[in-house]
Structure 1
Amino acid sequence: HGRFGLEITCAGDYHVDYHHTVEDVGICLGEALSAALGDKGGIIRYGDIILPMDEALILCAIDISGRAHLSYELFPPTEKVGDFDTELIKEFFLSLVRKAEITLHLRQLAGENSHHILEGAFKAFGRALSKSCAVDPYLEGKPASTKGML
Structure 2
Amino acid sequence: MRKASIKRETKETQIELSLNLDGSGKYSIDTPVGFLNHMLETFSKHSLIDLEVLASGDVHVSHHHTVEDVGIVLGMAVKEALGDKKGIRRFGYAIVPMDEALSLCSIDISGRPLLFYDDLGLRGKITNFDFELMEEFFKGFTLYSGITVHLKALSGKNLHHIAESLTKSLAVALRQAIEIDPRRKDTPSTKGSL
Give 1:74's aligned residue. 119
1:53-64 equivalences under 5 Å are 53-64=98-109
SS at match of 1:8: strand
* CA–CA separation in structure 2 for the residues paired with 1:129 and 1:35: 15
Q: 1:27 aligns with which of 45, 48, 72?
A: 72
Give 1:49's aligned residue. 94
The amino acid across from 2:151 in the alignment is: L
* CA–CA separation in structure 2 for the residues paired with 1:148 and 1:24: 32
* CA–CA separation in structure 1 for the residues paired with 2:123 and 2:76: 30
User: Contact conserved, 1:76 with 1:86, CA < 8 A, in 2?
Assistant: no
Cα displacement (A) at 1:75:
2.4
**2:132 is the alignment partner of 1:87:** yes
The amino acid across from 1:7 in the alignment is: E
Q: 2:188 aligns with which of 134, 144, 149?
A: 144
Stretches of structure 1 lacking an aligned partner (at least 5 in a row): none
Stretches of structure 2 lacking an aligned partner (at least 5 in a row): 1-45
User: Contact conserved, 2:120 with 2:155, CA < 8 A, in 1?
Assistant: no
**2:170 is the alignment partner of 1:125:** yes
Cα displacement (A) at 1:147:
2.8
Give 2:59's aligned residue. 14
The amino acid across from 1:75 in the alignment is: L
SS at match of 1:43: coil
SS at match of 2:154: strand
CA displacement, residues 56-114 of structure 1 (integer Å, 9 cap, x when unaligned): 01101110000000000112634211111111111111111111000001111111111
Cα displacement (A) at 1:148:
6.8
The amino acid across from 1:14 in the alignment is: V
Q: Percent identity?
A: 49
CA displacement, residues 15-35 of structure 1 (integer Å, 9 cap, x when unaligned): 110111011101100000000
TM-score normalized with structure 1 length:
0.94
The amino acid across from 1:115 in the alignment is: H
State the 4+ residue runs in structure 1 displaced beyond 2 angstroms.
75-78, 146-149
Higher relative contact order (CA 8 A, sep 6+): 1
Cα RMSD after superposing both structures: 1.3
SS at match of 2:97: strand
Cα displacement (A) at 1:120:
0.7
Give 2:82's aligned residue. 37
TM-score normalized with structure 2 length:
0.73
* CA–CA separation in structure 2 for the residues paired with 1:55 and 1:76: 17
Give 2:152's aligned residue. 107
User: Contact conserved, 1:30 with 1:95, CA < 8 A, in 2?
Assistant: yes
